[in-house]
Amino acid sequence: KEVIRLTDIVKNYKVGTQVVRALRSVSLQINQGEYVAIMGASGSGKSTLMNVIGCLDTPTSGRYELNDKDVSHLSDDELAEIRNSEIGFIFQTFNLLPRNSALENVMLPLVYAGIKKQERLERAEKMLSDVGLADRVEHKPNELSGGQRQRVAVARALINQPAILLADEPTGNLDSKTSEEIMHLFSEIHKQGNTLIVVTHEEDIAHHAHRIIRLKDGQIETDVINPNPVY
């Protein structure tokens, strides 16, 4: 089943009198259960594409369908609703609430989704246990190592069972050993049937994905199946 369909996506930024063509007619489809890496040099359009796919920004022109729904021309409120229900975000900087425990951070999306407290607790505890943090639920982010913080962020991203998991340089702040642990966790999440999109400039990270899309100057340069994904 197709989860994402981008057709002729163009994104221009106006800077003074200049127009920056960040995406020039990008078309691609991603099916449920795919594990895709988006690569490219700095300035090639990765963040812009990630922002469009993540419904953080709308394209200048072109069509974006997410789960068969046209999301190309929605209002900011409608986009926020799609983000909360359909997309799990993972960032380089973790973006956890510093004053809240791991458990509270993971429960938060369920609060917005209107899930009752007891179920929130049970689901968040289960999810933290699944990412290997059963003994860290009461820890606040600054009481956790970098890898543990990213695991909390992964649990938070997955708790609503989103249609896609979108990770932007997820290992950018981690040492190489911890990075490998997080990529191993991603592989496990992929095996469970989740759809993963990882934006990265690191070849070692991209090689865990099963499909690698390379951007150049706002266009898709190559889009290939990875014959030997790591793990």
CB under 8 Å, gap of 24 or more: what pairs does 75-83 form? 79/55, 82/55, 83/54, 83/55, 83/56
Does 151 sit near ligand ADP (CB under 6 A)? Answer: no
For ligand ADP, which is the closer residue by CB, 53 or 115? Answer: 53
3-state secondary structure of 5: strand
For ligand ADP, which is the closer residue by CB, 37 or 110? Answer: 37
Site for ligand ADP in 46-65 (CB under 6 A): 46-48
> Among the candidate windows 41-49, 100-108, 159-167, 223-231, which touches ligand ADP by CB under 6 A?
41-49
With contact defined as beta carbons under 8 Å apart, do 57 and 48 qualify?
yes
With contact defined as beta carbons under 8 Å apart, do 137 and 102 qualify?
yes
Pairing verdict, β 87-91 and 164-168: parallel
Task: State the nearest-atom distance from the C-beta of 80 to ligand ADP, in Å.
Answer: 19
Does 15 sit near ligand ADP (CB under 6 A)? Answer: yes
Rounded-to-integer distance, Cα 22 and Cα 210, Å: 26
Print the binding letters for residues 106-145 with ligand ADP: x by CB under 6 A, - otherwise: ------------------------------x--x---xxx
For ligand ADP, which is the closer residue by CB, 170 or 194? Answer: 170
Q: Taking Cα atoms as reference points, which of 130, 131, 106 lies closest to residue 119?
A: 106
Rounded-to-integer distance, Cα 39 and Cα 49, Å: 11
For ligand ADP, which is the closer residue by CB, 13 or 112? Answer: 13
Binding site residues, ligand ADP, CB under 6 A: 13, 15, 20, 22, 40, 42-48, 136, 139, 143-146, 148
